[in-house]
Each structure stands twice: as structure tokens, then as C-alpha cells.
Structure 1
Amino acid sequence: MVRQAMMVAALLMAAPAVSAATPEDYKRSLGLREAQMYLTENVVDQAAWAPDGGAFHYRKTVPGGFQFVTVQPATMAKQPAFDQARIATAIGKLTGQTYQPLRLPFASFRYGAGNQSISFTAAGTRYSCNLTSYTCAEPAAAPGRPRAFGITRDMSVPADNTARTSPDGRWQAYTLDSNLMLREVATGAVRLITRNGSDGNFYDPETIAWAPDSSRFAAYRVVPGYQRQVYRVQSSPPGGEIKAKLITQLYPLPGDTVDLERPVVVDVASGAATEVVSSLFANPYSMSPIKWRADSGSFSFAYNQRGHAVYRLVSVDGRTGKASAAVEEKSDTFFYAPRHSYHDVSNLGREIVWMSERDGWNHLYLIDGKTGRTKKQITRGDWVVREIVKVDDEKRQIWFAANGRRKGSDPYLQHYYRVNFDGTNLVELTSADAFHDVAFSPDMQFYVDTYSRNNMATVSELRRGDGSLVSVIERGDITKLVAAGWQAPENFVAKGRDGRTDIWGVIVRPRDFDPAKKYPVIENIYGAGWDQFVPKKFWPFGFHAGGDEVVGMQSLADLGFIVVQIDGMGTLHRSKAFHDHTWKNAGDGGAPDRILWHKAAAQKYAYYDIDRVGLYGGSAGGQNTLNNLLFYPEFYKAGVSYNGCHDNRLDKVTWNEQWSGWPVDESYSKASSVDNAWRLKGNVLLVIGELDMNVDPVASMQVVDALIKANKTFEMLNVPNGDHGVGRTDGPMDYVLARQYDFFIRHLQGVQPPNWNAITDATPPAAR
């Protein structure tokens, strides 16, 4: 702490000869999040209900931090969810860290049985704390064989071969030497069910699923995928270790062979094992866990075909093993399975509530589960269903979240609705023009509606199932925040490349903004297809690499920039055609739409310097950053790329085959920052975390190699021990973010940043 205080004092005293920003400006910008984050009161997170529905809880801001609150809906009585001081002490004993009671290292939790314990995740680790003794423990890791990115089993780890007991308790199924076994519990008698299992074609015990009547069970037989290993070198291990360490990771790439699963159904009485004919699922990218129907007559699984253009709900007759397609989706581009959901009505396979974009917008359909034909399109229109929240099979009603249905409003604002199976009686349950997060009680008699906008603090209300208001729970107070200089971003809309579609974004100006000046512009970019990214809710203080939350954009703007963020075509929650711009087009990132948006802003605002535009982003946003410099050099002049997935052939199979397809073709090279590095005309800073376990740092290093071969100049910062988030805050400031500031001040303002090396630290580091 003394060393850091001395460094900060030196920063404040030093004044570089030529600079638009002083060390004091840096200190103010880098400290903005901490300075403003604790100035609000009663700004809440989404609520969560106890399993028995007797109470709900949430986190809210209070002076100096956050408080967890539990509410009894019958009386609206509020009380602390637990003793935060004791929890802080208990977690500290377990982790060796010190935590303030109002700044616990988690934002949400779940109550255990009888509300006598809580569980939560902090720094990627799951913890459980007893609320009587106030002791915390890290639960033992669940047994089982992990799958790299959820796709390829790690064959170096044994599978969990715990015997799976039948619902009636009479039988146990497990494996021995890769074959299925069946044990009678009462007698201990064992039967060998299969004899053809092997290491390279085994029956997976973790996939065993029993029919409700215990007459049969099913499991997947698996041919394991390619065990590709990638490597990280930890150059500077913490704790004084001098020698580097090698870290190995199972990391399947696009085009690699993935696990091949084949369902097998076993009849307990006869011991016969029937392998299901695979014609309907011959080339799987993934197959969901086996799920038996309530009558034990059949089971189902979802099949996502390699290439993501075919998706089926496959139904299998439990007696014969005959497979049929209960529902099928086909696309000329891609089917986005991570957003998809469905509901098997009464779990009988006769009717399926199904989500589909088959009419160009994501909607709900009622499907005949026997024929696959559409019985009814439940919702329709130029708007998007986001989530099936609840289905009541007896009342034949569906609760769901959607956006874009309100004409004249921001199309990304989420609302909640209820509708009948036949599409009648569509009821909007949320009324305020805002983004709503709703938590329904288990019996659906009440719900907590928490809503806000990026320019409006949160309001939380308890409502009855019919939508009528019970009570306002909390109303966010941002008086002190506004007094401290906080200002909401401006929501700005312009037409996209087709001249018709609205493209939404935000503009953040310096807090000392002078409209008579001309400001360079920096775009915070993330143009990937898995979501939309412009902030819609009120919480400007989340933290990510590059400072891409609102307060991070404000911090950068305060150094003399206009900072913007835009959802171009190719991002989620609009039409299917809007989303399809991502397909085999990773080099685009919505750039034509975003450039038009910039030009519209410059036409409206004289201070908006369209000739000095830069950008920054991380991960896919890092790829977008560099690709925009490569493919649109006439517009973008400088960029900071954090851990970019610069060549989709070098990045994980899951993400990249979703957008670029399978097999690997020329579209991968077309979008590659490596293959197109020779195009660079602007200035780039490549920031790499050497321990990034999400995006292999090799992608960035191959960009470096290509730039050198093309005789291009560039800047690079390889961060020891940096992960996907990259940042380093173990010095007197956030080192990586400060280097981003330096870069943009040099290349967009045309002046030199502070001369940090002239500010010396008189205290040498401790010897290793």
C-alpha cells in the first residue's frame, strides 16, 4: 500500500511536456468506477424465490456497497437475507482473502433446504455456507468426465460409473469394461447386457436414463472425438517461482472429429439391447440428454446436426427402438440452438410447444408430436420471443419473455406475456417502457418485476399473477450519483445498410463536454451473433476487458473522446434476416451498418469527428477490431484488440462452427485476420493474455507473425498471467487500461501521453 501511495503521488506531481491528458486525468478516469459505484441506493438486481415460494430475495445498493434482502410476500416484511459480516469472515477464512461485509464477492445466491444455507459462485468457484454455524466450504467436485466446451469428452478423466438405480429401486445399471451391466438390488445378481463395448466405442454410464416404470433404460454408445491438446506457457508464476510452467488444455477446433453418440435402449426383462437406427441423427454436432416420456412408452433427445443447419427433436419408441422426427428445423444458414427451447406438453410427446424462426421471426408454435405438423402458430408478428418461462399444461397457457412487440419503443426492451396454446388472450404482464426482469413464484401466483433503462434507475414491484400491483418493493435513488457528475448515455438510432432497418447504439460524451470542440470517436465493438450488446438496463458499473461497460466508456470519454457502442446487423434479438448477416461473414461484424450509424451521428453533431474514428473490443470484439482496420481502413484509423479470436480455424469448435459452418471452407480464411494482415493501414495494439483459456493466444501470435512478414508496424502487449479478461491491477493503476488510453491519445488526438517512465519508483521489487 505504501508503494502504491508513493506511485500515485508521483503520478499526480508529474506533468509531461506535451499531453492532452495528465497523470491526474488518468487517475480520475481509472478510478471513476470505484468513485461512482457506491453512490446509489436501492438499485436492485433481479429477485429470486425460495423453493417453497414463501419468500423472495434480492441484492440492492446501499451507501458503501450492497445488501442482500429477503421479503415475505404475505406481509412485505423485509429483513437481511443473512449476516453479511459473518459471511465475509467465513469466506475470508476459506479463501485467505479479506472481504468487506457490504462488498461480498458474489451478486446472487441460492438458499438450501429450509433456508438454512446458501450457495454462490465467487471467482469461478462454487461455495456453500451454513447460516447457523456460519462456516463455508467448497463442495467436492462432482464426479464425472468433463467435456471440452460441452462437446468433446476428456478421455483422460474417468467417467462417473456410479450405478444408476431404477425408479422402483429394483435394478441398477452401470458399465464394466465399456459394456452395460444390470444388477438386481435384492439378490445382487448381475447380468452382462452388451459385449461389444470398447475404449473406442463405449457405453457411457453418465448417460443412462431409466423409464419411469423401470421396465427399460437407455444410454448413449460413444465413439470419442479427437483429443486435441493446446498449450499455454505461464511465464511468470506467482509466489516467487522463477521457472515457467506448461499448461495443457483439451481444445477441439473447427473441423475436428467430435463425439459420436448413438442411443441404445435396454429391455430389463429380456436383457435385449437395441441400438437405434441413426438415419435421423447420422452426423451429430451435439445430442441432448435422453429424456423419457411420462408413460414410459418413448424417449426423446434433441439432435443438432454438424454445421448447425438441421435441428430435430427425435422421438424413439421404447419397445421397438424406432426413431421418428417429432419436430424438424432446417435452415439455409444456421439454426441457433443456444437460444432455442421447447416444452413437451404433459411429457407425453403428443404436443410440443416449439420455438422457431421459420416465418422470419422467433415465435412459438404448437406442434403435433406424432406427425411433426404445425397445429397452431401461437405468436406472430415483427417481434421476437426470447424465452419460454413457464407452461401450464392443464390451463394450456404459456408465459414468455419477448422484445420488439411495442411499436415506437426500443425494440430490445424485454417484456413478459401470457398466451393460450391457441394464440388467444395474449396478455402483457409488464407495462413500463423499460427492460424487465421478472421472477415468478413457484405457484405463479406472484411475480417480482424489476425494470429499468440505461437512463433510468431500477424499480422493483411485487405483482399478482394477473398483473395487479401488490407493492413497490424498491425504487432506485441515483441522486448522489448524478450530483457526482454521472450522465446517462444518449440512445441514438440510424438506418442500416438496407436503408430501412433501425440500428441502435449509445453515445457517451466527456463530462466536461464542449460542443464547440471537435472530438475523435472511439467505438466499443462486439459484433458477434450470440447476443446484443448495447446496454439497455441500468447498471453502468459492470467490468470487462477494455472498460466496455458504460462507466468504462465514460472513463475513456473523459480523456477527450466521444465513445459509442452499436448493435449492427448480425447480432441477436431482431429478425432472422438481421441475425443471418453473421453467417460465414465473421469479417463483417456489422461494419456497414455501424459506419452508416457513425455518419448519421456526424451529420447531426458538428463535434463528432468522422475523420478520426478508432475502436476497441475483446474476444470476438478483438477480432472485429482488427478486421475493421483491415477491411475498412478508409474509415477506422486505430484499434485496441484484446484477446481476439483472429482466425476462426484456431478458435474453439463451438463458437466458430456455429457462425462459419462445417466443414471448414474458404469463409474461414476470408474472415481471418492472419490471412488478411497484409491489408493493415491504420494503427493497432494487440493485447494478449498468456493464460487465456477461452481464446488460444496462438491466434494473436499468428497475426503478429503475418504482420512482420508484411513489414507492418504494430504494438503488442503480452500480459503475463493474463486470462481472457487480460487486466492487471497489481500495480498502482490498471496497467492494461492505461496502455489503451495511451494508444488512443497518441493515434487519435495526435499528442503524446504522459511519460510514465520518467515517474520512477524508488523502492525496488522484493527479491524472488
Structure 2
Amino acid sequence: MTKDGTEEFGYGILCANASGVIAAKLKNVPLPLGVTWSEDSRTLWTYKMDVRKVETYTLVQSVPQGNEAVRPVVHTYHYPLPGDPHLPEVEYYRIDTEEDVCQSLGLGRFAFSGTIPLSFGDSLEGRYTLFQVKNRENTRSKVYLYDHMTQCLRYFFTESSSTFIFLDHYKMQNAGNNASDYAKKKYYLSEKLDSLFWLSERDGWFDIYQYGLTDGSCRKLTEGYTVRQILHLDSNRKLLFFSASNRGLGETPYQKYPYCLNLESGDIECLQSQAGDHETHFSPDGQHYIDVWTSYHREPIVSLYKTAGSKIREVVRCDATKLREAGYIEPTPFCVKAADGVTNIHGMLFLPKDYSDDQLYPVVEYCYGGNQKMLAPQTFMETLSRHAGYTQTLANLGFIAVIIDGRGTPLRGKAFHDHCYNNMGACAGMEDHEAAYPQLKTKYPGMDLNRVGVWGHSGGGFATYQFMVKLPHLYKVGVATAGNHSQEIYSASWSELFMEPFNKDLWKAQNAEFLADKLEGHLLLMHGDLDDNVHPASTMRIVNALINADKDFDLLILPNRHHDLHDHPYYRRKLIEYFVKHLQG
């Protein structure tokens, strides 16, 4: 279907600045292909990516696998950094499988720093396909419509922000890990209603906007919602179904609920109002939906409903009795004031089963310094996932485990999120974490604030080191794993997302490498030597700074390990034992 692609200037290839590229190479696993079918299965949408001018990173596999291996093996891959003059260049293409024709859409090339630049979406009836082209500064996304009938592409509108557009909202916060692609639709196009239904944070919250396909008119359909996902459109009854949070119904502001919006009257009805989190999946024909009702302290109950309203049956009710008997600990939600003394911030505590106000317990915080997600678990399964940071294990070992979502994280409104703009060194509200502890101590006197540890992975490793050198009076022990400590040598697609156009001084200000002399507590650094997401150089720069500052620290390099370390038993043991030794020993 295409005949002129090459390894570095090819169709559907990806820019290898993502975790797993070298792992896939070593396991001989094909990388994802950037191509998607149209709804009528006639057209393939893809792109041609040019990475020939993109600079590279190199990893050295010191312990090559195989009995015949002797010399270390070198792996090289393209990896654009902040401020690099050359990013991958992308041009969208359309392949007509019936006519065997591959042609450019005519948008020309644009710079792209992510992994796969597919941002397509077909209308429900199949006539239109929507495209987005985002600028490098992440402040503008141009939206285009392709008309299959006329085979013409036209500019539709531009989504813009004075700080940043949070397009990651769609892929990171909307649906469960097992949700189908259908359930993860970003927006809805309907020829019958002559409308595009679009999510935007332009007025401070993620609300739904309706655009007229013919006249380009725009009206706002919701006000002050945090819409998480458009779930389904019933064009016959003119009903739009969506999920949203932060409306005062949840046990926390992050739990989501399903709603039905009447497009004629504007009335909005909550379909399931039981306290907790509701993950909702509609059948393709829209006649039924599955509701997964759960919470951080309640096992999931899955029920089947008619979209018209009546419950058909309970499908499954999970029973965690044996898990609780084995030591499962329910988290305790909390709400405290941020460092500004006004804003509410939320989090979770995992208290030991024998917790008593009359006894002192060491504290371990699990943190993440990235601004693209919140961290505290909201569902039962999230309390058990690797993203809960071994909080169950730590609580069972006698620690009070803590997770805090400070300012600079999403799903609490644009102003809350914008706290991170040009401020990535605050690691998603560092000052709010510090402010939380005296307030938590008042309610939970058993917290020993003289024995507080912190750990995190990736962006959490970055945050852990920052916490240790900027707040040494609070954090006495830290474990930083695979940390992207130096943003200027980490992927352009991450730090450029939340920062103004690159300037060296601004990026350096986010880097705590230069504060190594402030380290007072015990610090363990861990990294995989084949990490193609966060290059080991990021940790080695911290190592070099600590050596130059004559500071004691611990270092563990895991051979043949990539970015994800959670499944490695030695990694888990060393991490947990470090807190046992230095906070309990």
C-alpha cells in the first residue's frame, strides 16, 4: 500500500522516545503501528514520520543475554530533548484500500514529540473524520474535518490555552485499563445531528461543547463539570451520555458518575448516584450499559442496565473476604488545606491494623511528581495496583502510608492544574505535601513526624530526590527509582507539555541536581541500565553531584531492566527493607 517508506522516514513508525522500545527489540516483539481503519473499513489513516534529524540516545547492555555473549551491546534510538532544534516531523496520509491510492491530506509537515501522533476520529455515520494538529508549545490544537463524500479536508476550529492544553486527559484519566477502544472515544461526531461534541477546559473546567458541522456554531452544554468521558450519543432521542467528577456526589472529588444530557431541554440527570466511583460502558448499539460500582473501601459490583433506565440484573459482586483476612487494609481519605491555607487538597492514609493514637508510627509517603495524573486510589482495585506504591505492604509492616494529591495535578479544574505551569520543580505541589503533615498529625497523633520517608518511581523518583534536598527537616529517608531528575535530558514530550518555550535557565531551575549539598537523610537511588524512557544518565547525574558534595548515599543498578521495575522481586525487597532499616531499625 505504501512503497517509499524507510526505517527513519516511514509510514506509521513511532518516535522511539518511549518506554519499551529496547525491550521490544530484545524480545523481537513488533512495535505498535501508527495506522487506524475508518468506520467503513475502506480507508486507512496513517502518517509519514521523518526522524532522520532527531538526535539519539545510547544505552549499553553490560550483561548481554545468551551463552555466547561476551562484549557489552550498544543500543541506539532517536530521542528528542527539550529545546532540540529538530523534532520528528509528521505528515498525515489517507490510504484508499479499494483504489489502492495513498495520498497526503495536504496539511504539510508538523513537529511532534510524542510516540504515535494518531489523533483521528470518525463520525458515527462515517462521512467525516476529525484530525488534530498540536503545536510544539502545547498551547494550540487545530481541528480539521475530512469529508469522505467530497474527499476534501477543511479547517474547523482551534482549541487554545494561555498555559497548556491537557490532551492527556483523554488517555490517562477516562476509563479503566481494560476498557475497549470504543469506550475510550475522545469525542463524538454526528451527521444526523450535524454536530461535534467536544471536551474543553477553556472556561476553567472540562465541559462539553457542541459545534455545528455546517455553520461552525458553538454552544456550551455543561457548566462547571469535570467531564471525564463522553460515553455515548443517542442521535434519535437526542441524548448525550457522559461521566463526570467533582460535582459533590463522591466520597472524594475524583470519583466519577454517569450522566444523561437532554440536548433539546438541556436537562442533566445523574444515572447512578450511589456514593463511590462508577465506571460505565455502553453497548455499541446504546441500548444497554454496564455500571461498575466500587470505591477505595468497597469491592466492585457490576450491574447491567437498560439505557432507558431499568436495572436488568446484577452481573457479579466481588468478594474480598479472604483478602481482608489476609491483611488487606482499607485506606482512609483525608482533606486538608494546601500551603495557601485556602485550597482543599485530598489524599489517602493507610493505617496499620493495630493503629493507636497512643503509639508512634513511622510514615512513608508514596509520591509522583508528574503533572499529568493524580495518584491517590479511588477504587478498590486501585488500592491493590502497583500504582498504589506498596502501601498495603508498608501498612502491614507497621508504617503509616500516605498519598497526597497537591496542586499542579489534574481533575480539580484548570486553575488547580495550572499551579504546575513553569513550576515542574514543585513536583505536583511539594509545598502542599509539607503543609499537610501538621494537619494530619492533629487528627492522627500516632504519626511520628520525626520519622518520615518518601519514595516514588519515574516522575516519583524525580519528586523523591527533590523532597529530600528541599525539605530535609521533614523527609529523612528516600528511595528514588528511575527518576527523571534532570528535565533538560528527559523527553521533550513531557516537560515541554507544562512549560513555556525552552530556555536553559527555566529548565535548570526545575533541577535539584545542584542542591546535592542539602541532602541530610538516607537516600537510595535505583535505575535499570536499559531504561529507554528515563535514561540512566538522569540518575548518574545525581550520583555525580552527590559524590562532588561528599554525601553518603546508596545506589542500585539493575542489569537488563527497563523503565518498569515493579515486578522485580529484588527491587521490591530492597525498596521496602530500606525503610524498615532506616525508619524502624
- Pairwise TM-score range, normalised by the shorter structure: 0.7 to 0.9
Aligned to 1:259: 88
Report the 3-state secondary structure (helix = DSSP H, G, I; strand = E; otherwise coil) of the residue aligned with 1:594: helix
Task: Give the aligned partner of residue 747 of structure 1.
Answer: 582
> Is 1:345 equivalent to 2:156 in the alignment?
no
Q: Is 1:379 the counterpart of 2:215 in the alignment?
A: no
Matches of residues 270-289 of structure 1 in structure 2 within 5 Å?
276=106, 288=118
Structure 1 CA distance for aligned equivalents of residues 191 and 364 of structure 2: 52
Q: Counterparts of 2:41 and 2:63 in 1: how far apart (Å)?
A: 57
**Structure 1 partner of 2:416:** 578
Q: 1:259 to 1:244 in 2, by over 3 A?
A: closer
Query: How has the CA–CA distance of structure 1 residues 386 and 479 changed in structure 2, closer, same or farther, with 3 Å as cutoff?
Result: same
User: How much does 1:485 deviate?
Assistant: 3.4
Show CA shifts across 1:168-204 (max 9, x none).
xxxxxxxxxxxxxxxxxxxxxxxxxxxxxxxxxxxxx
Cα offset, 1:407, TM superposition: 4.5
Q: How does 1:312-711 map to 2 (within 5 A)?
A: 312-315=142-145, 325-340=155-170, 341-346=186-191, 350-369=194-213, 372-374=216-218, 376-381=219-224, 383-407=225-249, 409-422=251-264, 424-539=266-381, 542-544=384-386, 549=388, 552-589=390-427, 590-711=429-550
Secondary structure in structure 2 of the residue aligned to 1:147: coil
Distance 2:307 2:549 in 1: 64
SS of 2:472 mapped into structure 1: coil
Contact 1:209–1:219 under 8 Å retained in 2: no
With over 3 angstroms needed to count, the CA separation of the structure-2 counterparts of 1:422 and 1:404, relative to structure 1, is farther
Show structure 1 runs of 5+ residues with no match. Answer: 1-142, 155-204, 752-768
8 Å CA contact 1:528–1:582 kept in 2: the answer is no
How far the C-alpha of 1:444 sits from its partner, in A, is: 1.8
Q: Distance in 2 between matches of 1:512 and 1:615?
A: 22
CA 1:452–1:149: 2 relative to 1, 3 Å: farther
Distance change (3 Å), C-alpha of 1:719 and 1:727: farther
8 Å CA contact 1:308–1:658 kept in 2: the answer is yes
- TM superposition shift of 1:262: 4.7
Counterpart position of 1:725: 564
Q: CA deviation at 1:207?
A: 7.4
Give the superposition deviation at 1:144. Answer: 5.9
Q: Could you say what secondary structure the match of 2:578 adopts? A: helix
Counterpart in the other structure of 1:147: 14
**CA positional deviation for 1:564:** 0.7
User: Is the contact made by 1:326 and 1:371 (CA closer than 8 Å) also made in structure 2?
Assistant: no
Query: Does structure 1 conserve the Cα–Cα contact (< 8 Å) formed by 2:34 and 2:118?
Result: no
- Of all paired residues, the percent bearing the same amino acid is 29
Q: CA deviation at 1:704?
A: 0.8
| In 2, Cα distance between equivalents of 1:294 and 1:746 | 58
One-letter code aligned to 2:580: I
TM-score by length of 2: 0.82
Residues 686, 717 of structure 1: 8 Å contact kept: yes
Aligned counterparts of 1:697 and 1:549: Cα–Cα separation in 2: 24
**Residue 77 of structure 2 aligns to which amino acid in structure 1?**
Q
Three-state SS of the structure 1 residue aligned to 2:324 is helix
The one-letter code sitting in structure 1 at the alignment partner of 2:539 is S
1:304 aligns with 2:134: yes
Question: CA contact under 8 A between 2:350 and 2:400: conserved in structure 1?
Answer: yes
SS of aligned partner of 2:425: coil
Distance, in Å, in 2 between the alignment partners of 1:419 and 1:318 is 29
* Change in 2 beyond 3 A, CA 1:578/1:394: same
Cα contact 1:285–1:305 (8 A) shared by 2: no
Amino acid corresponding to residue 323 of structure 2 in structure 1? L
User: Which structure 2 residues correspond to residues 166-205 of structure 1 after superposition, within 5 A?
Assistant: none
Instruction: Pick one of 541, 550, 571 that aligns with 1:736.
Output: 571
Letter in 1 for 2:425: G
- Which residue does the alignment assign to 1:111? none
Change (3 A) 1:647 1:400: same
For residues 291 and 347 of structure 1, the distance between their equivalents in structure 2, rounded to whole angstroms, comes to 16
What is the aligned length?
Answer: 541
| Paired residue type of 1:237 | P
SS at match of 2:292: strand
Measure how far apart 1:306 and its partner are: 0.6
Deviation at 1:293, TM superposition (A): 7.5
Distance 1:744 1:495 in 2: 28
In 2 relative to 1, CA 484–289 (structure 1 residues): closer, same or farther, beyond 3 Å?
closer
> 1:418 aligns to what SS in structure 2?
strand
Distance of aligned partners of 1:676 and 1:327 in 2 relative to their CA distance in 1, 3 Å threshold = farther
Q: CA deviation at 1:343?
A: 2.3
d(CA) in 1 for partners of 2:480, 2:321: 36
Q: What is the Cα deviation at residue 597 of structure 1?
A: 1.8
How many angstroms apart in 1 are the aligned matches of 2:320 and 2:126?
Answer: 56
Tell me the distance in 1 between the aligned counterparts of 2:38 and 2:294.
45
| Superimposed CA distance per residue, residues 467-525 of structure 1 (whole angstroms, 9 cap, x where no aligned partner) | 32111222222333333333311111112233333211111122333432212211011
CA deviation digits over 1:333-381, x for unaligned, max 9? 1101122533222289x5321111111000101123456442x211112
In structure 2, distance between residues paired with 1:211 and 1:402: 27
Cα deviations across residues 254-280 of structure 1 (Å, max 9, x unaligned)?
Answer: 2332233456899999x99998476xx
| Letter of the 1:576 counterpart | K
| Cα displacement (A) at 1:727 | 5.0
Give 1:213 shift. 13
Q: Give a deviation string over 1:101-155, Cα, whole Å, max 9, x none.
A: xxxxxxxxxxxxxxxxxxxxxxxxxxxxxxxxxxxxxxxxxx965212589xx9x
Q: Aligned Cα RMSD in Å? A: 3.7
